[in-house]
Structure 1
Amino acid sequence: MTTIRDRVNRAAPAGLRDRLKAGLVRYGERTADRRPTPDFLIIGTKRGGTTSLWNYLIRHPLVPRLFPAWNTKSTHYFEENWHRGERWYRSHFPTERQRAALERRYGGPTRVGEAAPLYLFHPLVPWRVRELMPRVRLVVLLRDPVERAYSHWKERRGEGKEPLGFAEALAAEPVRTAGERERLIADPYHVSEAYDWYSYRARGRYLEHLTPWLERFDPGQLLVLPSETLYRDPAGTYARVLDFLGLPRHDPGRYEVFNHRRSAPMDPAVRAELTAYYHPYNVALSERLGIAFDWAVPPA
């Protein structure tokens, strides 16, 4: 698919490209009142398959991409760009006219969304989303928190943002992230890289972060899925998400895995410690949601 970005990049040198892109951003803001807010959000979890699911969804002819097209996954509005305001947020989504054209062409309803794993973890995002989009649908992928933490560390390590080994990074997490959650709550415009980058253990306490969403939205608005189900049966999971969003069935062609990172196995002692640590949290999550997660079992 040729996007606006592709056409801009081919047509102009670097300096002009930047000006054209800035112009598109301004155009989006000027037409924001014709751009409805999203129908759905994929809110987590980080390293839980959100990028893969997002890429499957945007292959559906009735799921248009964000605008401009280089914003391929998320605006990061509710956690990072809150200060920019609602018009800025709306500027990233297709107009009512564009949506109507797609619906005429493909004979079904359009569904517009974004995927931002930090939305699940940020303490102010559930309230912000509820205030702006009370009827939005929410998709949550939850991965074995032990594997999620290790994958999170591998990502940061690969990006050059994590100098410590996995065990050392887990040990340093309380100091690195101390007070950051409180700062985010106290200052609505505070952005914390440490809270995002180094929250390896904390993010896996899923019920703690999911509860504010459960308290603010009707249960029918949330679809919680084990990430392992997406990995084992991507076609079936994709079909279930389409049903949840009210979209007709569609074959995206193939179900490749995005953002997979190979590495050495986790140290067995670290795995055992994390497995024991997460056990009570996993059991409470499973009981609250009524979902039998593969990893919500007693440690060996």
Structure 2
Amino acid sequence: MEKIQHDDSSKLFVPDFLIIGAQKCGTTSLYNYLIQHPQIIPAQTKEIHFFDIHFNKGWEWYCRQFPLALKPKENGITGEASPYYIFHPHAPNRIFDLMPKVKLIILLRNPVDRAYSHYHLIGRMGKETLSFKAAIQKEESRLKPELKRMLENENYHSTTYQYYSYLARGRYVEQLKTWMNLFPKEQFLIIQSEEFYCNPANTFQRVLEFLGLPRYDLTYYKKDNNGDYPELDLQLRNELAEYFKPFNLELYKYLGADFGW
């Protein structure tokens, strides 16, 4: 971990890695696996949301969200997972300005499944009253003015933009291009969620290798935040698959990997 020395002689630690998204793609499960590794020191909470929601609290506040890092284990590292980062318009530049060498982990799920899971999450929170079809039809009119306000005022926090971005968050290639225009590609590890769900042990080892850590096997790979909701109507699923098709094809070309969505 990189130490930052401040005027009060306290030592704060810059996170070595961030899981930046995407939401509803397995970030909680992956983070919970990682913090079981003996050389990974957990943050005070999985989702600190500094670079998207709490940026006005300041850099030292953020660093102090890693309290156990004050007594690091030998060769220990630390990090957090805030899946709104990948989608937030200001997060990429904020992170690059403060942590240009941080390692970035991204999980990507079939955007149709991701959107539907996201919708039910917001519904369980009591924040969505529309049907899924009505919500995605209304999405652009909900988000467009909020994004404008966010771009005009960096301190403006829009729960509308955060909650109701069902389709927009699944246009992954738009977001990745923004991030990869700032950070070199070798600082990213991109994981397909479906592969992670099918074989979490193998994916976990890939992440440890990316982080420069020795192999570590867990006894049990629990899947967190499982949602229980009805299957998506087949006609609407097919319509959304067509909607996402050009974005997915552009993503495959950009990354040189076909996720088969």
TM-score if structure 2 supplies the norm length?
0.94
Q: CA RMSD in A?
A: 1.6
Q: For residue 17 of structure 2, what is the aligned residue in structure 1?
A: 40
| Cα distance in 1 for residues equivalent to 2:152 and 2:59 | 21
Q: Do structure 1's residue 245 and structure 2's residue 222 form an aligned pair? A: no
Q: For residue 246 of structure 2, what is the aligned residue in structure 1?
A: 280
Q: Provide closer, same or farther for how the CA distance between residues 32 and 250 of structure 1 changes in structure 2, counting only shifts above 3 A.
A: farther
Give the SS at the match of 1:113.
strand
- Write the deviation string for residues 252-287 of structure 1: whole angstroms up to 9, x where unpaired: 221111001021110112111100000000000011
Q: For residue 117 of structure 1, what is the aligned residue in structure 2?
A: 83
Indicate which of 273, 286, 292 corresponds to 2:258.
Answer: 292
Q: Which amino acid aligns with 2:36?
A: R
Equivalent residues in 2 for 1:24-173, closer than 5 Å:
33-67=10-44, 71=45, 73-94=46-67, 97-99=70-72, 102-103=73-74, 109-173=75-139
Equivalent residues in 2 for 1:146-225, closer than 5 Å:
146-225=112-191
| Cα distance in 1 for residues equivalent to 2:70 and 2:229 | 47
Higher gyration radius (CA): 1
Q: Provide closer, same or farther for how the CA distance between residues 258 and 30 of structure 1 changes in structure 2, counting only shifts above 3 A.
A: farther
| Cα distance in 2 for residues equivalent to 1:191 and 1:235 | 37
Deviation, 1:64, is: 1.0
Q: Do structure 1's residue 234 and structure 2's residue 200 form an aligned pair? A: yes
Q: Which amino acid aligns with 1:86?
A: W
Q: Is the 8 A contact 1:46 1:117 kept in 2?
A: yes
Q: Is the 8 A contact 1:32 1:88 kept in 2?
A: no
Deviation, 1:97, is: 4.7
Equivalent residues, number: 256
| Cα distance in 1 for residues equivalent to 2:7 and 2:128 | 40
Q: Which amino acid aligns with 2:12?
A: R
Q: Is the 8 A contact 1:33 1:87 kept in 2?
A: no
Deviation, 1:181, is: 1.6
Give the SS at the match of 2:32.
helix
Unpaired segments of 5 or more residues in structure 1? 1-28, 104-108, 296-300
> Is the helix fraction higher in 1 or 2?
1
Q: Do structure 1's residue 265 and structure 2's residue 231 form an aligned pair? A: yes
Give the SS at the match of 1:264.
coil
TM-score if structure 1 supplies the norm length?
0.82
Deviation, 1:65, is: 1.4
Unpaired segments of 5 or more residues in structure 2? 1-5
Q: Which amino acid aligns with 1:162?
A: E
Deviation, 1:178, is: 2.4
